[in-house]
Amino acid sequence: MSNPTQPNIIMVLSDQLRRHALGVHGDPDARTPHLDTLAQKGVRFSNACSTYPICVPFRFTLMTGEYAHTRKVPGIEYAMSPAERTLADEFNDAGYETVYVGKWHLDGGHGRLGSAVQVNRTPVRRSQQGRWQNWYGFELRNGPFDTCYFKDDDPTPIKIEGYQTDGLFDIGMNHVKNRSEDHPFSMIISVEPPHDPFEAPEDLQTAWENRDITLPNNFDVEDPDAKAHFILQRKRYNAMVENLDQNMGRLMAFLDAENLIDNTVVIFVADHGEMGGAHGLRAKQWPYEESVGVPLMVWDPRIKERGGTTIEDPTCTEDLFPTLLGLAGLRPKNPLQGTDLTPLIHGEVDCLDREGVLLEFVAELRERPVFYDEVWRGFRTQKYKYTVKGTNMSGHPWQFFNLEKDPGEMNNLIDDPTYRDEIAKVHQMLCDRMIETEDHFVLSPAFGCEGVNVWKE
């Protein structure tokens, strides 16, 4: 049963938003005043990571708390089993009203490779909705001006008029405004922007296209036509981010107007980032910070004295499930590998009892995208990032970066003898975490350390 003192929980989940794109995280061009204010009045994690930086596995872990490698979840085209205990189950059992709004992407894609439009006109079966009591969802669309959603088990697609982000925030706020107040609620608003295609409302897109922007030091695109294309995409991406920021401002103003601001915890996060020409790359999947680095900020009205706190401990996707519950005073029914960040958010502890987090890319089923032939694992501490790459039966050292001295990851130190001892330490941390989480990836011995092989008797 619910406790009347339990807070409401709202998570806003953005798709493909790199941490660096926000003003509070250092983008000199960003126009994100509302998110910057949320960070200044709440708690911000400066080194939050997406463990497996692509849509489907992030969402699987968010919904279950499990590492994606425990189910060998591929990067896309995966249907979550209805047998999984989900975040909604936890909140339902605690007496919460649960509400899901927006992109789901855990029902196998509905043949996405054939037609993204058709996917968006096909309902997610009620049995595949993770037992969210109130459903305003869709599998995916990737077309922010042509998005439909479905209500509960009604198979009739409902068109969102206008821009997707605006419409999904409207749906969430309208539900809250018209709901019964008998129980606290837990809501996820999952928007696709700034996922490509990079399309924003006309006024914002035009304004950004007419501005000059600052390119990061690791932007590495030499061909003039390709460079111009990347710059145009970055401008449109920024326009989509500004629209998202405006909607966050609307949401916070709405909670204030509805007298909910003092008993609603708001969490803002993204499923992964976007390379945007850094290292000459686009999209996600890579272990670089532009891909794995995501924003994570928490507004908790019960701890206003913590406003402006920045936490440097690296976090991972697996931490979100226990943390969402922890913020509501709940604990997961099943043992999980992630950490409840609530004591850190509330200032009850100064740091986490771990040195870093595991990163991974488990499988790619499509032949053309990167990491079809080889996948990777990594370990990220505050100061260093170490990655290995190879087949599932043979992984070898790939990259090592000193993030403190080289935040753009432009100097791979994997063969630098002066860092051998540090690399060996992080290699061992990766081995230990892989063993703890029963990772099936085979990591070969390196730097005087043993490897990992769960298949070995």
Average confidence (pLDDT) over 144-167: 97
Amino acid 115: pLDDT:
73
Amino acid 110: pLDDT:
67
Candidate CATH numbers 3.30.1120.10, 3.40.190.290, 3.40.50.300, 1.20.810.10; the one for domain 373-436: 3.30.1120.10
Spatial contact of 356 and 314, defined as CB atoms under 8 Å apart: yes
At residue 203 the predicted structure's pLDDT band, cuts being 50, 70 and 90, is: very high
Report the mean per-residue pLDDT for the chain: 95
Where in the chain is CATH 3.30.1120.10?
Answer: 373-436
CB atoms near residue 21 (< 10 Å): 30
Where in the chain is CATH 3.40.720.10?
Answer: 8-345
Average confidence (pLDDT) over 14-35: 97
Least confident interval from 2-6, 120-124, 233-237, 418-422: 2-6
Spatial contact of 386 and 420, defined as CB atoms under 8 Å apart: no
Average confidence (pLDDT) over 341-365: 97
Average confidence (pLDDT) over 129-153: 97
pTM: 0.96
Gap between the Cα atoms of 398 and 391, Å rounded = 13
Q: Is residue 283 over pLDDT 60?
A: yes
At residue 116 the predicted structure's pLDDT band, cuts being 50, 70 and 90, is: confident
Gap between the Cα atoms of 68 and 54, Å rounded = 11
pLDDT, one tens digit per residue, over 376-394 is 999 999 999 999 999 988 8
For the chain, give the percent of residues with pLDDT over 70. Answer: 97
pLDDT, one tens digit per residue, over 301-345 is 999 999 999 999 999 999 999 999 999 999 999 999 999 999 999
CATH number assigned to the domain covering 8-345: 3.40.720.10
Locate tokens 């709405």: which residue?
254
pLDDT, one tens digit per residue, over 368-379 is 889 999 999 999
Q: Is residue 419 over pLDDT 70?
A: yes
Amino acid 455: pLDDT:
67
Q: Is residue 233 over pLDDT 50?
A: yes
Q: Is residue 52 over pLDDT 90?
A: yes
Phi, psi of 283 (to 5 degrees): 65, -140
Average confidence (pLDDT) over 16-38: 97
Amino acid 2: pLDDT:
44
Q: Is residue 4 over pLDDT 60?
A: no
Amino acid 411: pLDDT:
98
Q: Is residue 297 over pLDDT 80?
A: yes
Average confidence (pLDDT) over 31-47: 97
